[in-house]
Structure 1
């Protein structure tokens, strides 16, 4: 079992302010690589130091292997060394996940995001074996993606403790909603914990996390990065203010009953930014939902101006 050298936060292997980027499509539903390059460049210019591609928000279940590789190549080319590029490669099939990991490495990714195998509900020894096989398949560092609400299977804390011994398993995207289990693992390993739930960005960072992987950052990257920047500067009141200012938009984007890919693309499209439609089975947000998102976005912008 790994023992952290101190109780300070471990290093952030992929940056601190990461966006779970949408995958832009054309009006015809094709992969929009020019849009992806443009959106990636904007996100980095607006404060993101890492981009996660082909995750939940990136609609990975509906993109082909070739599209995933092309997306990594395009975004890596657009951001260069200004930000890390983390490729989502997880699936319910270990063999396919290994293939995607190798493909992402060849395409120029800096790291991998690997979700727990879903649908088949493997027991913990099978979950552990899956991650170890993927970690051995390439030379890239891995972030484990723990989101049991979607996968049906938790990466239990004891399993995390064992997986932390692998030299390429370096981080966790935490969507488990279990602060007790999360802090148990953080206290006993050097795994870098990223909040995958926007409402927990400040809470997890204050408890020893290293940053966030945010869906809401697609729309307001500066607001999200200001939370960790203020905390790092010792301005805990400012960090709290930035977190709470964003909560109306966070709730509408992540807690309204619509998937984050749907709300992100609705808001980005309304703002004239690259996004395009979602792919079925997802359906676009309606006018009322889009208007609500825009109103919350404008309210946040006004709050930022008032507190500047």
Structure 2
């Protein structure tokens, strides 16, 4: 298991030269530019490990220094425990030590989550992404106890995943502040849309904060976040990495310009009523890249949507 910060891959051609490493690098325990990678399937719906390896290699080569597997975009609710472990093993084989691998292990059952965390560690993950328990809507003391038990269960560093729009339960900022005292709870993926709460945690802890909503990538980075965990990076990894590189090089106006340029694609993929797994797979498939179908209950994007997504993508890529 690798726990040290992985080396950052070189920036894409033409990107500004990043500033020398500083305290932000030490905080970015899993890297800066992380992709919430889709889980490729074959046409019949089976796990496509070869496709996953090819996609992972492409993402890392294009600027991602971390991959988050079996998260929301990775369709974790519809992959089996065995498939999750196989995916980690295959992607580790493909990327080696060029990027960190954070494995989604969150479920609504503490015992199940503990088992997944241990399996992810054995499969070669560098960290565990743990969402608050969903559906049962436990109070904050129960959420905290759940997350501590998972962090205690393996040697993996833990990234908390705060996404109340899907789970129905926040990991409240005060709860995060208490959890930050745990030696293995080291990071947060923030999909709370609570910018004030995020800044409060950034101001009072050493946690590595990651924007989990692409429209917040630069905003959170500018106030001290470690980077992002991005769905949109599945299709334009180099474009999103360029935002961070420009900011690190002191070109804040350029970073803002790059972020604004990506807005149309972020909106098309994430705010048009379809889950990111659907839009990301639709675009990847249209680009001839590994993706495959989504698993039910998700349904694939219709052709009209795919054409619209591709047009937005091509305008950004031009």
* TM-score between the two structures when normalised by the length of structure 2: 0.92
- The residue number in structure 1 matching 2:261 is 245
Structure 1 portions without partners, runs of 5+:
1-5, 303-308
Matched length: 297
CA distance in structure 2 between the partners assigned to 1:34 and 1:9 by the alignment: 32
Say if 2:218 is the partner of 1:202: yes
- The residue number in structure 1 matching 2:63 is 47
Q: Is the 8 A contact 2:134 2:167 kept in 1?
A: yes
Runs of 4+ in 1 over 4 A off after TM superposition: 6-10
Say if 2:102 is the partner of 1:86: yes
- The residue number in structure 1 matching 2:284 is 268
CA distance in structure 2 between the partners assigned to 1:177 and 1:171 by the alignment: 17
- The residue number in structure 2 matching 1:282 is 298
Q: Is the 8 A contact 1:10 1:210 kept in 2?
A: no
Q: Deviations over 1:223-281 (max 9, x none)?
A: 00001010000000110111011111100000000000000000000000000000000
- The residue number in structure 1 matching 2:197 is 181
Say if 2:126 is the partner of 1:110: yes
CA distance in structure 1 between the partners assigned to 2:280 and 2:198 by the alignment: 27
Give 1:9 shift: 7.9
CA distance in structure 1 between the partners assigned to 2:66 and 2:194 by the alignment: 25
* TM-score between the two structures when normalised by the length of structure 1: 0.95
* Secondary structure, aligned partner of 1:136: helix
Give 1:18 shift: 0.2
Say if 2:184 is the partner of 1:168: yes
Q: Is the 8 A contact 1:10 1:191 kept in 2?
A: no
CA distance in structure 1 between the partners assigned to 2:25 and 2:194 by the alignment: 18
Give 1:15 shift: 0.3
Q: Is the 8 A contact 2:30 2:100 kept in 1?
A: yes
* 27-36 or 182-191, larger mean C-alpha shift: 182-191
Structure 2 portions without partners, runs of 5+:
1-21
The 3 A distance-change label for structure 1 pair 39 and 188 is same
Say if 2:48 is the partner of 1:38: no
CA distance in structure 2 between the partners assigned to 1:132 and 1:45 by the alignment: 35
- The residue number in structure 1 matching 2:41 is 25
- The residue number in structure 2 matching 1:212 is 228
Could you say what the CA RMSD is over the residues aligned between the two structures, in angstroms? 1.2
- The residue number in structure 1 matching 2:13 is none
- The residue number in structure 1 matching 2:140 is 124
* 8-17 or 67-76, larger mean C-alpha shift: 8-17
Q: Is the 8 A contact 2:24 2:226 kept in 1?
A: no
CA distance in structure 1 between the partners assigned to 2:268 and 2:102 by the alignment: 26
Q: Deviations over 1:89-139 (max 9, x none)?
A: 000000000000000000000001000100000000000000000000000
CA distance in structure 1 between the partners assigned to 2:156 and 2:264 by the alignment: 37
